[in-house]
Structure 1
Amino acid sequence: MENSLLDSIKRICQTLNKHSVEYMIVGGTAVALHGYFRYSTVSSGAIADKPDLDFWYNPSYQNYFNLLDALEELGQEVTSFRNEKQPAPKQSFFKYELDDFTLDLLPKLKASLRFAAAFAAREVVQLSGIEIAFIGYQDLLVDKATSARPKDLADIQELKNRRKSE
């Protein structure tokens, strides 16, 4: 992973942690944290112009407002979300096109995983003293299998091959 992307992950996670946001990194970045790095690709299979970072957040009301606080600290505009008469955290997907990457914050995954159970099984690494939470290995495989795109199936095979060789 490139240093600027790693620095961005650390900055985002540090801010999420500061605001007590329950989250896990998912998607291709989680695959990399589990040992297999590949570049982000678009639906055609071509390498994307910039990587995407996918975060799955607990869609409880308290966590949703904690997330809004963190996003605001990260320089994102969240006023319209704060002013919603009937917030719907379970339906609130956030997508930010930033200079070096795309940031996606997801209230749910395609797989029928429950956040609380997956959060209990999450893995955590320390980078420069910052806790980085990411989806556990088995849950990642379930999510990738549910998506079943060619790149997801390739990720599963690569991860399993790496586990066998360890």
Structure 2
Amino acid sequence: MVIELPPDFKEFLRLLNCHSADYLVIGGFAVGFHGYPRSTSDIDIWISKTPENVIRVVAAIREFGFDTPNLTPELFLQQRKIVRMGHPPVRIEVMNEIDGVTFDDCRSGRVLTEFDGLPVHVIGLADLRLNKTASGRPKDLDDLQQLP
């Protein structure tokens, strides 16, 4: 399946790659990649919460043009932080924790693929299922029913 990205999503993922950030695409884009294409109002990026990685992520966010005084690497070292950029349907959400799984556990099952010609890392299907189950939101439970 070919996944096309809005220009802002593509540019942000390119910058994460350029800065060697450790990340996984999760949420609706991951659900679509794994076999249930559905509409989504954003792209969800989950980052590894190591001191070295959050420095790379903040550098990518700043180069993307989102530089506010409270955007520091320390922000992403705190628990359950999300940075939102843009407005639906072109919103980018960067988070450091998700329900049901740890980044280190998901690293080995991640899938390296291409979205719109750009290499990206996507959460593996088994880990996506664990996350959706732990989240328990109605749309996550629907995703679980629809995934292969």
**TM-score between both structures, scaled by the size of structure 2:** 0.86
Alignment equivalent of 1:130, drawn from 81, 96, 118:
118
Poorly superposed stretches of 4+, deviation over 6 Å:
none
1:144 corresponding residue in structure 2:
132
Identity between Structure 1 and Structure 2 (%): 27
Shift of 1:123: 0.6
Shift of 1:27: 0.8
Residues 22/126 of structure 1: CA separation in 2 closer, same or farther (3 Å cut): same
Are 2:107 and 1:107 equivalent residues in the alignment?
A: no
Are 2:83 and 1:117 equivalent residues in the alignment?
A: no
| CA–CA distance in structure 2, aligned partners of residues 147 and 61 of structure 1 | 26
2:56 corresponding residue in structure 1:
66
Amino acid at match of 1:24: L
**TM-score between both structures, scaled by the size of structure 1:** 0.78
1:25 corresponding residue in structure 2:
25
Unmatched runs of 5 consecutive residues or more in structure 2: none
2:143 corresponding residue in structure 1:
155
Shift of 1:100: 4.5
Task: Specify the SS of the correspondent of 1:21.
Answer: coil
Shift of 1:8: 3.3
CA displacement 1:67-101 (0-9 Å, x = unmatched): 0100011110144233x8x6551433211124741
| CA–CA distance in structure 1, aligned partners of residues 85 and 75 of structure 2 | 19
Amino acid at match of 1:17: N
Task: Specify the SS of the correspondent of 2:36.
Answer: coil
Task: Specify the SS of the correspondent of 2:65.
Answer: coil
Unmatched runs of 5 consecutive residues or more in structure 1: 41-50, 161-166
1:34 corresponding residue in structure 2:
34
For these two proteins, the number of residue pairs brought into alignment is 146
RMSD across aligned C-alpha pairs, in angstroms?
2.2
| CA–CA distance in structure 1, aligned partners of residues 111 and 76 of structure 2 | 28
